[in-house]
């Protein structure tokens, strides 16, 4: 401990302080209408205000379209993809320190914590550059599919007992899990427009969050049924492959076609 407090207590304090500071920053700098945005030109302020006024005037679509969009097959399909991606993602988030401790043959502590940061450092760099590659090439579904498939491969390789190879594999998992997400989120915005976009994107995100509940239960179930600690890793890896297949299938589905608003 430090100054009479355990490490986990300091983590709560630091994370809470950062959240509080962010709240003050948001209250001070986030604006609620275009005319207060200092970084916009006068023309941009006018154009944005006209667009917002146009959306606010569509009351009939707000009542009908916002709900009907939830039953659109493309929205449901994207919600399924988001759910599986999050299963793959949380399968790493919840177990990374324990996995690293096993590879190092050490107890969870400072050293394990430092080594556990390595995959996230690589993921941070990849999350900056891979979405840019997606923007440059225009490849959305296919690139996201390849990236999340790498995560699946990483899960299988991370079952090794060799520390360096295991950490490298976990880094690939982290890269796949995180870098594919900003690319994935370009897909909903390509088929959802207007007021219906808010409910559609919220629904997709809500379904994805359920992956945080399913992932640890799926991993424990696989380890229990197959009586192997690696079975949980394989289950997470398979979820990555399934997400990759579903993302590849978004290409012939023409996700670029916007859902029509109903006036």
| In a domain? residue 103 | yes
The total number of structural domains in the chain stands at 1
Distance, in Å, from the CA atom of 196 to the CA atom of 70, rounded to the nearest integer, reads: 9
| pLDDT score at 207 | 92
**CB neighbours of residue 7 within 10 Å:** 12
| In a domain? residue 171 | yes
| pLDDT score at 68 | 73
| pLDDT score at 182 | 93
Q: What is the CA radius of gyration of the chain?
A: 22
Q: Where does the pLDDT of residue 55 fall: very low under 50, low under 70, confident under 90, or very high at 90 and above?
A: low
Mean pLDDT of the chain: 85
Distance, in Å, from the CA atom of 221 to the CA atom of 215, rounded to the nearest integer, reads: 10
What DSSP string describes 250-262? TTTTTTTSPPPPP
| pLDDT score at 51 | 80
| In a domain? residue 104 | yes
| In a domain? residue 5 | no
| pLDDT score at 60 | 43
Percent share of the chain, pLDDT over 70: 89
Instruction: Decide which of 233 and 44 is more confident.
Output: 233
Please tell me the least confidently modeled range out of 12-26, 56-70, 138-152. 56-70
| pLDDT score at 144 | 92
Q: Where does the pLDDT of residue 255 fall: very low under 50, low under 70, confident under 90, or very high at 90 and above?
A: low
pLDDT at 256 over 60: no
| pLDDT score at 140 | 82
Distance, in Å, from the CA atom of 56 to the CA atom of 112, rounded to the nearest integer, reads: 52
| Domain assignment of residue 102, given as a range | 59-248
Check: CB of residue 232 under 8 Å from CB of residue 223. Answer: yes
Task: Calculate mean pLDDT across residues 230-256.
Answer: 86
Tens of pLDDT, residue by residue over 57-98, are: 654 444 445 567 778 888 899 999 999 999 999 999 888 899
What is the CATH classification number for the domain harbouring 209? 1.20.1250.20
Place of tokens 């007021």: 195
Tens of pLDDT, residue by residue over 174-229, are: 999 999 999 999 888 877 766 677 888 889 999 999 999 999 999 999 999 999 98
| In a domain? residue 8 | no
pLDDT at 172 over 60: yes
pLDDT at 42 over 90: no
| In a domain? residue 258 | no
| In a domain? residue 73 | yes
| In a domain? residue 24 | no
């Amino acid at each position: 401990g430090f100054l009479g407090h355990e490490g986990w207590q300091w983590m709560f304090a630091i994370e809470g302080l950062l959240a509080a500071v962010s709240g003050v920053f948001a209250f001070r700098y986030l604006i609620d209408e275009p005319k207060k945005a200092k970084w916009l030109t006068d023309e941009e302020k006018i154009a944005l205000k006209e667009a917002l006024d146009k959306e606010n005037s569509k009351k009939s679509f707000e009542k009908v379209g916002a709900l009907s969009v939830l039953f659109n097959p493309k929205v449901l399909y994207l919600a399924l993809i988001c759910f599986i991606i999050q299963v793959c993602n949380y399968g790493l988030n919840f177990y990374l320190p324990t996995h690293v401790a096993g590879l190092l043959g050490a107890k969870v502590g400072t050293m394990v914590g430092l080594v556990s940061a390595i995959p996230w450092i690589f993921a941070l760099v990849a999350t900056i550059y891979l979405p840019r590659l997606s923007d440059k090439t225009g490849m959305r579904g296919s690139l996201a599919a390849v990236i999340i498939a790498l995560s699946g491969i990483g899960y299988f390789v991370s079952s090794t007992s060799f520390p360096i190879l295991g950490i490298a594999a976990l880094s690939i998992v982290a890269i796949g899990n995180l870098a594919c997400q900003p690319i994935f989120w370009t897909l909903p915005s390509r088929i959802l427009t207007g007021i219906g976009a808010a409910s559609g994107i919220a629904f997709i995100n809500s379904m994805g969050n359920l992956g945080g509940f399913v992932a640890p239960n799926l991993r424990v179930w696989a380890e229990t049924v197959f009586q192997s600690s690696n079975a949980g890793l394989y289950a997470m890896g398979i979820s990555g492959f399934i997400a990759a297949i579903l993302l590849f299938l978004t290409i012939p589905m023409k996700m670029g076609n916007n859902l029509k608003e109903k006036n």
